[in-house]
Amino acid sequence: MISKPTLVLDKSWVQGASTSDLAGAAMQYSLGFSEPLFYEILTSSPPEAIKCLRRLRSVESSVIVLPGVGGFLRIEIANARPVGPLEGHAISKDVVFNIKESDGELVLGARQIDLIERERVEREIVAPNLYAFLFRTLPSIFPSLADDVRGGQRDKLDGYEQTIANEPGLICGLLEASGKKYFPAASALNPEWFFYRRVQTLLLAGLEYVRAYGTLELEPMPTKLPNFILDLPYVTMGVVSGALATREKQLARWAKLLREDAAIVGI
């Protein structure tokens, strides 16, 4: 039996999807429900969380539960090779579908609480530190970036995006310059690696920050990162998998920029 490709779901798509939308997607794809999506659903209002989970239960047989960004990166570090098909690292569905309801509230167990805390650390500590490092490197990668911003020539950022998308040496060089000895060897990296795609999406978000706010200053770090940064895990996973379900045009654009053959559902 030929397995179906995995469609990575983001919150914007799940929130707006009808049961028929989910059923239609399930006919073509395995539905990738990731830890970041689970976190976003569980930390939304109880009525919204319950509604999303009930809809997903209608296609439970087609749902696969995926680790978060940190989980995939750790897999590549441990194995010293690309993560491969995301569905090969699926975790038990019980963490999602065995949640009970009581008086309009979700009753969370230890596994759900642990997942929420793990994703919170990823969002509030790990990702901002990595983002800050890469953001600080943007002027060295694109020396004229500051002048472009001051001169109001933000359209030039489109050209920089193409560089990020199409020059592997740039991504490999950045990972090598990080000095992190536990990272995969830069000489081995290529677009098949989750590490590689993660760096690309972070750099694209850095350029978008410059475009949106007109500044290269990121000190102090914002107490809450913009949504286009918090949503990057969906882009990274969607690019690696080759299919992304989103209603966010920016995320869809980035996915197609980084992988021309990526399927986009919802736009």
**Model confidence pLDDT, tens digit, residues 166-212:** 999 988 888 777 777 778 888 889 999 999 999 899 899 888 888 88
2-11, 39-48, 81-90, 204-213: least confident range: 204-213
Percent of the chain with pLDDT over 90: 47
- Please check whether residue 55 lies inside any domain of the structure: yes
Tell me whether residue 208 is in a domain: yes
**What is the residue range of 215's domain?**
6-265
CB 242 within 8 A of CB 261: yes
* Residue 1 within a domain: no
Q: How many domains does the chain have?
A: 1
CA 197 – CA 79 distance, rounded (Å): 17
Distance CA 52, CA 46 (A): 10
pTM of this prediction exceeds 0.85: yes
Q: Is 245 exposed, middle or buried (0-12, 13-18, 19+ CB in 10 A)?
A: buried
Whether 258 and 165 have beta carbons less than 8 Å apart is answered as yes
